[in-house]
Amino acid sequence: MTKASWKLSSVRPSLGSLRHSSAITPIVRAKFCSVHQNSTFNRHTLVFSSGQRPAPTLRSTGIAVFCRAASSMPVAESDRERLIQHLLVPAEKLTLLLELQRQTQQGSDLSDLATEHSICPSKKDGGMLGWVRKGQMVSEFQEAAFNAPLNKIIRVKTKFGWHLVQSLSEREAAFLQDIQPEELRTLLQDPGFLEEAQLVDVREPNEISIAAIEGFKAYPLSQFGQWGPQIAAVLDSSKDTYLLCHHGVRSLQAGQWLQTQGFRRLYNVAGGIHQYSLRADKDIPTY
């Protein structure tokens, strides 16, 4: 396998790391961005970093370096996204950065240099940030990431320090959007919909025993270590996938992780099963 293909195929960030990356949506980031004010993607999801982990709990570590604050972060501005890798050193270490850039020009791999020298938590993944879109990064980093030719390493300074940034690939952006309970109710009444769509409930078994929507299959977040690594074999990433939890937060987090696994069309049930019960099907109990 070539070095380039290794980089592309190895981007498998953990669900927990999503909160600290730039790939998260504004809704989720607003809930968690206060954790790491000094990191690049201040958000609870989109700049995904890391390999599979058994517990998808939100952590206070991870790629939190380049995202804008929740209060000012706009919806993604582009239907294109890029696979980004970077290295970060403190602002006062420009000499070190120039030396590292020289080493990349002589054939050194950015992954190895990031692992050894970067101060971003993504160092454990060779500096991989995952797939990101415009509007999810501070402006200087975004300009470098999206304006540079693919596979060209660019030097850029942000308020976090000096970066070496490389865009490895570009593709049409996946989407993750809300679906209202009433809309879902209408779709569920169509037998053809149940044959084509994938319905994912990320709540815990005790919750599902209290209230459930017919057709949804259980993928509890507490068991992420079991189903996460097998997700590509269990679900079809090309199909419309609908996500459900109690109030819509856990399912949104799961959806953002699924985007990093290649799922292209994701729908999060707004307000979760709680709002579905109140607004679409009162026969389903609340809890």
Burial track 88-121 (b if 16+ CB lie within 10 A, e otherwise): bbeeebeeebeebbebbeeeeebbebbbebbbbb
Q: Which residues are catalytic?
A: 245
Selection from 232, 220, 83, 87 nearest residue 157 by Cα: 87
Q: Give yes or no for a contact between 115 and 123, defined as CB atoms under 8 angstroms apart.
A: yes
- Report the alpha-carbon distance of residue 28 to residue 222 in Å, rounded: 19
Selection from 119, 130, 145, 140 nearest residue 51 by Cα: 130
Q: Is the C-alpha dihedral spanning 107, 137, 257, 186 positive or negative?
A: negative
